[in-house]
Amino acid sequence: MINNNKPNLAVEIAGIKLKNPVLTASGTFGYGQEFTPFLDLNKLGAIVLKGITLKPRRGNPPPRIIETPSGMLNAIGLQNVGVEALIREKLPYLQRFNTPVIINISGDTREEYIELARRLEEVSPELPISALEVNISCPNVQKGGLAWGIDASATYELVNCLRKATTLPLIVKLTPNVTNIKIIAQAAEEAGADALSLINTLVGMAVDLDSRKPELANISGGLSGPAVKPVALWMVWQVFQEVHIPIIGMGGIMKTRDALEFMVVGARAVSVGTANLVNPRAAIEIIEGIEKYLIENQIREVKELVGSMKI
């Protein structure tokens, strides 16, 4: 039976058609397979994988995470299997699902990013690779990472080089650890980004008063979870007014209403991060909740919500 009253949840980001606007945030959803006991990957808008580098990385020493009021700090340090193992061992599994897969990439040098992008483009005809999410905002590695994302000209240069190196859609992931995110967003757009995603984590720390030691071996870490939502909403709103390319909003989305708020301030799609660690079905419940909301409010297309804030 065709239900004409069913609202349309589909959105398009960077030329990729998503059946709904809910993605999984990089680093909180592993390589996808870990979550198959809990949900059907086919139902997701897209899967964004754990950050990958050219060579495997061992990551930071433990302890790597600590809970903070309504949030958490993490300093994983980009531990990952490296692009070759990703291609060999992780991506083939995801082929059986009809959900776009977005690969989050990181590097120490421009050359590393470029080589990664080239390698992934090379295998993209045979493997599920819909887009690259360029992480220029990881606060937990010594070199690279954040250094790109806090400087407009470095952002421009990196994205521009990647634009020339690959035809894969480029989503540039921005950091909130800047004085003016609009300038960075603009630089990424001018350099040829197809979409932006924000926010990555906010740099912070936690200390144990009794031992007077930092809670994380890395001392600092990235704050995520409900605690960062107001900051993330504000950043998405600012960037939305500045750029013409679509925005994937994230930061503290735990439930349906959080996701919808991000859309209202300008996000065309959203990513669910820390919530996956607490409730492995969070993304699915949010998708179902969005559909219900649209029906209840007689909204035919989820797109209508994007940037609909009244001021």
Partner 1 sequence: MTILNLKIKILSRKEVTPNIYLLSLAAPAIAQQALPGQFLHIKCSKDNYPLLRRPISIHRVNPQKGEIQILFQVAGEGTKLLAERPVGDDLDIIGPLGNSFKLYPESKKVMLIGGGIGVAALLALGEEAIRQGKEVQVLIGALNKELVLAEEIFSDLGAKVEVATNDGSYRYKGLVTELLEKILEEEALATGLPHQIFACGPRPLLKKVSEIAFQKNIDSQVSMEERMGCGIGACLGCVCKIKGEDQNNNNNGLPPPPYIYKRVCIDGPIFRGNEVVWDDQ
List residues near partner 1 by CB under 8 A.
27-31, 34-35, 37-38, 50, 55-59, 61-67, 69-72, 74, 76, 79, 82, 85, 217, 225-226, 254, 274, 276-281
Task: Give the nearer residue to ligand FMN in terms of CB position, either 7 or 39.
Answer: 39
Tally of residues, the chain = 311
Closest CB 252 distance from ligand FMN, rounded Å: 4
Q: Are 155 and 192 in contact (CB under 8 A)?
A: no
d(CA 120, CA 82): 12
29 binding partner (options partner 1, ligand FMN, none; Cβ < 5 to 8 Å by kind): partner 1
177 binds ligand FMN (CB under 6 A): no
Q: Cα–Cα distance between 20 and 201 in angstroms, integer? A: 24
| Candidate list 53, 104, 177, 218; residue touching ligand FMN; CB under 6 A | 104
Residues 6+ apart with CB under 8 A from 175: 136, 137, 139, 146, 149, 150, 184, 198, 199, 200
Cβ contact 254:282 at 8 Å: yes
Look up residue 222 and give its two tokens: 């990235």
Kindly state the smallest distance separating residue 280's Cβ from partner 1, in Å.
6
The answer to whether the bond into 63 is cis (omega within 30° of 0) is yes
Nearer to partner 1, 137 or 276 (CB): 276
**Pair 165, 129: CB distance under 8 Å:** no
d(CA 150, CA 174): 9
Compute the least distance from the CB of residue 310 to ligand FMN, in Å.
25
> Residue 73 in 3-state DSSP?
strand
Q: Site for ligand FMN (CB under 6 A): which residue of 53, 135, 175, 256?
A: 135
Q: Which amino acid is at 218?
A: N
Complex with ligand FMN: residue 51 or 204, whichever CB lies closer? 51
If the CB atoms of residues 51 and 100 are measured against partner 1, the closer one turns out to be 51
Query: Is 161 part of the annotated catalytic residue set?
Result: no
224 binds ligand FMN (CB under 6 A): yes
Task: State the catalytic residues.
Answer: 138
Q: Rule CB under 6 A: which residues touch ligand FMN?
A: 25-28, 50-51, 74, 76, 78, 104, 135, 138, 173, 200-201, 224-225, 228, 250-253, 273-275
